[in-house]
Amino acid sequence: MDGSAEAFAKQTLQPNYNQLLLALDQRDRMQVVLVSPRNPLNIGAAARAMANFGLAQLTAVAPFEAHWREARSAIGAEELLRNAMSTECLAEAVADCTLVVGTGTLTYRKPEQLVVSLPSLTSLVEQELQRGGRIAIVFGPEKHGLTREDLSYCHLLVEIPTDPRQPSMNLGQAVAVCLYELAAHTSEPEKQKVEARPAAPSGDLDLLATVIEESMLVAGYSPRSMQAANRHDLRLLLRRLAPAKHDARRILGLFRRILWRMKRGAGEAPDK
């Protein structure tokens, strides 16, 4: 074997897949969220998949089993599982995230937000990382996936391509597939500063939705029986509009002023 052939053989045999992993800064701004997971073994498998791709931020929302942190399937990811966060609701889990991605299949649901294929997700994640955002990838329960209510907290829904005869996927496998796709096709952040307005985090959008909803109630916009439907639609609308953090705060101030005026009474002239 001549020198060039030998060098090629060594390069080919050397493991180089880890060069595709996300940059450290990117990993720090990504989290995996499991909503109402039932089987601790599946949670452990998801944690192991995260460890494979270098992610460390895991949140379990209202887990079914109290002893889920002891899952034996989290081989090599025991510390990740011990340090995982636990919240009672999805809103709390994604409050500081600027891009919330729900996962699932369209077989049994009619989505109300943008739907993208898994290969198309990477460019959207890359853009959000470039402007300094935080990202949550949300997975639903093993039995039925994310509910319509869960998805109202998501900016978009990513569909994992599966055979229609078996559309659902094991939780740990779904996490692994999504993270591999992101690791393999998300570019490292550019060295130069990217000029972009930071997006409003999910918690800011929920606060804005609450004030708008209260304004609607005081104004008699619709019967109280429509309150839950209005709240759901507002969450979806604000995530479709995707306002910048600064703009969301300005709008919040505007609606707070309007609400204060309506509660005080419209008899007085506005301030000059």
pLDDT tens digits, 143-165: 888 999 999 999 999 988 888 88
User: Is residue 40 within a helix (H) or strand (E), and if so which, with residue range?
Assistant: helix 40-52
Q: Which tokens is 77 given? A: 């990811």
Q: What is the mean pLDDT of the chain?
A: 85
Q: Which pLDDT tens digit goes with each residue over 167-218?
A: 778 899 999 999 999 888 776 655 444 446 789 999 999 999 999 999 998 8
CB 239 within 8 A of CB 154: yes
φ/ψ (deg, to 5) at 252: -60, -45
What 3-state class would DSSP assign to 41?
A: helix
210-213's contacts with Cβ under 8 Å and 24+ in sequence apart are 211/252, 211/255, 211/256, 211/259, 212/255
Strands across the sheet containing 114-117 = 85-87, 58-61, 30-35, 135-139, 99-104, 156-159, 114-117
In the predicted model, what is the mean pLDDT of residues 17-29? 75
Q: Is the pLDDT of residue 258 over 80?
A: yes
Partnered with residue 137 across adjacent β-strands are: 32, 101
In the predicted model, what is the mean pLDDT of residues 44-62? 93
Q: Which pLDDT tens digit goes with each residue over 40-51?
A: 999 999 999 999
User: Is residue 123 within a helix (H) or strand (E), and if so which, with residue range?
Assistant: helix 118-130
pTM: 0.81
Give the least confident one: 17-31, 79-93, 97-111, 203-217.
Answer: 17-31
In the predicted model, what is the mean pLDDT of residues 69-94? 91
Domain architecture of the chain: domains with CATH: 22-185 (3.40.1280.10), 202-264 (no CATH)
The more confident residue out of 252 and 169 is 252
Q: Which pLDDT tens digit goes with each residue over 217-230?
A: 888 888 888 889 99
